[in-house]
């Protein structure tokens, strides 16, 4: 028995999230089905985190155990040959049996893309949220500064979040304009349900002049979801990198 770690990318548009769900098409479900076809084993996949329906990944990490004798240099080809085009295994390597894709994570990075054109770009609509009016990126970055560090992020997580400890550490939160796109990059030790999307939705309201940047400090202290902005659409969010 050996443990393998894979880095994968996927377009989450047509999936009901990462985690297996009854009667739903999911990333985990597709990978486990592919593994069963190539090994004949019932293999459970463990991911670094669960992305929601419509959220994408460039650097999702999974691990699984197998007794298969498939050569290491063939695993990537064999799995990609069994997966839909919207899921790609980027790397495969054997790791120590103690490695865990979820519990060993040190840093996660998510990036959110905003198409800030007057008219939406049809070729980006699956991967970016369209905001037609110009955003004040400097004000958004000023607001983002208040969220860096260790805080109780109750105001920035879904009311459906059932974990009691809502303290997380954000190592970096940047907003930058690249051409006609605005990118929000968030790095932290972990994120609550919808946390990044609510942060982005609130920053967009700052960029639109609907909120003052300093309000972010008050919203954070309130520990009240209703004080923060809207939840940004899933399609603009990508799990970019996981660091161990």
Cα–Cα distance, 144 to 170 (Å, whole number): 10
115 carries an active-site annotation: no
Residue 232, judged by CB atoms within 10 A of its CB (0-12, 13-18, 19+), counts as buried
Which residue in 52, 65, 104, 136 is the catalytic one? 52
User: Would you say 112 is a known binding-site residue?
Assistant: no
Residue 240 · residue 111 · CB < 8 Å: yes
- CA distances 130 to 111, 180, 239, Å, are 15, 11, 19
Q: Dihedral of the CA atoms 215, 218, 224, 226 (nearest 10)?
A: -20
SS3 145: helix
Active site members: 52
Which residues does the annotation place in the binding site for substrate? 110
């Amino acid at each position: 028995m050996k443990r393998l770690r894979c880095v994968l990318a996927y377009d989450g548009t047509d999936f009901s999230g990462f985690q297996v769900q009854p009667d739903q098409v999911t990333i985990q479900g597709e990978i486990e089905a592919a593994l069963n076809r190539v090994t004949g084993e019932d293999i459970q996949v463990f991911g670094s985190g669960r992305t929601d329906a419509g959220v994408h990944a460039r650097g999702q990490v999974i691990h699984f155990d197998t007794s298969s004798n498939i050569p290491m240099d063939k695993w990537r080809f064999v799995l990609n040959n069994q997966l839909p085009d919207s899921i790609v295994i980027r790397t495969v390597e054997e790791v120590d049996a103690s490695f865990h894709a979820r519990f060993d994570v040190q840093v996660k990075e998510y990036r959110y893309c905003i198409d800030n054109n007057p008219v939406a770009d049809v070729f980006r609509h699956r991967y970016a949220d369209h905001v037609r009016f110009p955003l004040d990126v400097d004000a958004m970055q000023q607001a983002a500064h208040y969220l860096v560090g260790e805080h109780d992020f109750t105001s920035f997580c879904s009311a459906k979040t059932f974990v009691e400890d809502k303290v997380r550490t954000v190592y970096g939160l940047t907003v930058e304009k690249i051409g006609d796109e605005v990118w929000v990059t968030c790095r932290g030790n972990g994120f609550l349900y919808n946390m990044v999307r609510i942060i982005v939705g609130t920053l967009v309201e700052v960029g639109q002049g609907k909120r003052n940047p300093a309000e972010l400090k008050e919203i954070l202290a309130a520990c009240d979801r209703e004080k923060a902005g809207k939840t940004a659409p899933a399609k603009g969010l990508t799990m970019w990198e996981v660091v161990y």
